[in-house]
Chain A
Amino acid sequence: MLKNSDQAYGWLACAFHWVSAIVIIGLFILGLWMVDLTYYSDWYKTAPHIHRSIGLLLAVFIIARIIWRLMNSQPAPVSTHKAWEVKTGHIVHWVLYIGMFAMFISGYMISTAKGQPVDVFNWFSLPAVVTGESLGIKNMEDVAGEIHEILAYILIGFASLHALAALKHHFIDKDSTLLRMLGKNT
């Protein structure tokens, strides 16, 4: 089934979830690796190009994901979940959404800080909408870069918490939390 029901996630919601998870982990690893590449590495130009392109495409993907989420009903929490677990889960979910957008924006602001556009593969380029000069932020590329790096660790930290919670539900509580996200109707 495409759409969510009272008890289960539809396949589209599951696909949105797992594709974002894989892409975000990939971007994190690529980002960590590419900043230490030497100037003469074959990847010196291509790795950041791929990182920027995929990051911006992911932004569009996540916007679509949120629209889909808002258009759909959400399955009811698993009945055995305690109230604090439901609440913490919700908070972490929204931290992850906000964190993703903060990453898209801060990443985009590094590349466009001096008014240069960002290329999305060799497909199209996204112009700068604001610059360090227009915002009155001195060396905006440095500020945005620092924010982007710190947020990356925070986002991955929360994603790990989110994954550990899912594993705890699956292996310790033996409930259907993780299975539901895998599209199983339990």
Chain B
Amino acid sequence: MKKTFISAVAGIVALTGVSIASAADYVIDTKGSHAFVQFRVKHLGYSWLYGRFNNFSGSFSYDENDAAASKVSVEIDTTSLDSNHAERDKHLRSSDFLDTDQFPTATFESTSYTATGDNTADLTGNLTLHGVTKEVTISVEHIGGGDDPWGGYRQGFEGRTTIQPGDFGIDMVGQLGPAAATVELMLTAEGVRQ
């Protein structure tokens, strides 16, 4: 729905030749799966366990000449959690952890984008997870961007942040031990300009 709306707006803008600000709107390429929402958490403190959310959607606006104006918005279907193990996924979705029956979506809405280097920036925004909204800062790297071979134009980023699930009311430490106090989030997004 959101996507259709954005493309409709983009279509109207293109047809009428209205010139808007040079910031371009991008839709994250979830269709071609050039985007990933992944996490990792330590198992007993002995190894990293990786998982991902298979379904999500999002968009961002980005202007090469005015990166500070960049905005990102992502919506994640928490029921699509996948750690490649049926019984564990069932447990992680249960009320012991993400409680996806009650909180089927997690969202991220950026509030500021501050460059920290040529290709790096701190993206701050509100993460809503398990019904709790907290401000998080994601370290972003601009990987690359330009024309694609099929007539489109793309920009790709990768972001990393560490959250404490306890802040979101998810008791990882009590259930899984102190090594599970923090979870790293790894977000890869290639956007197609609209």
Contact = CB atoms under 8 A, between A and B. Distances in A.
Interface of A: 38-40, 48, 110-114, 116, 132, 138-142, 145
Nearest to B84: A114
Interface of B: 79, 84-87, 89-90, 93, 175-177
A116 B85 contact: yes
B90 A142 contact: yes
Contacts of A140: 86
6 contacts: A110-B86, A110-B90, A112-B86, A139-B89, A139-B90, A142-B93
Contacts, number: 34
B87 A141 contact: yes
B172 to A, nearest CB: 10
A110 B176 contact: no
B105 to A, nearest CB: 15
Contacts of A114: 84-86, 89
Given A139-B93, A142-B93, A111 B87 contact: yes
Contacts of B86: 110-114, 116, 132, 140-141
A147 to B, nearest CB: 12
Contacts of A40: 177
B76 to A, nearest CB: 15
A138 to B, nearest CB: 8
A116 B84 CA distance: 9
Contacts of B89: 114, 139, 141
A141 B86 CA distance: 6
Contacts of B176: 39
A138 B93 CA distance: 13
Given A39-B176, A141-B86, 19 more contacts: A38-B175, A48-B87, A110-B87, A111-B86, A111-B87, A112-B86, A114-B86, A114-B89, A116-B85, A116-B86, A132-B86, A139-B79, A139-B89, A139-B90, A139-B93, A141-B87, A141-B90, A142-B90, A145-B90
A39 B175 contact: yes
A74 B89 CA distance: 46
A48 B88 CA distance: 13
Nearest to B90: A141
Shortest 7 CB-CB contacts between residues of A and residues of B: A113-B86, A141-B86, A114-B86, A141-B90, A39-B176, A142-B90, A145-B90
A142 B99 CA distance: 12
Nearest to B81: A139
B100 to A, nearest CB: 9
A50 to B, nearest CB: 15
B128 to A, nearest CB: 21
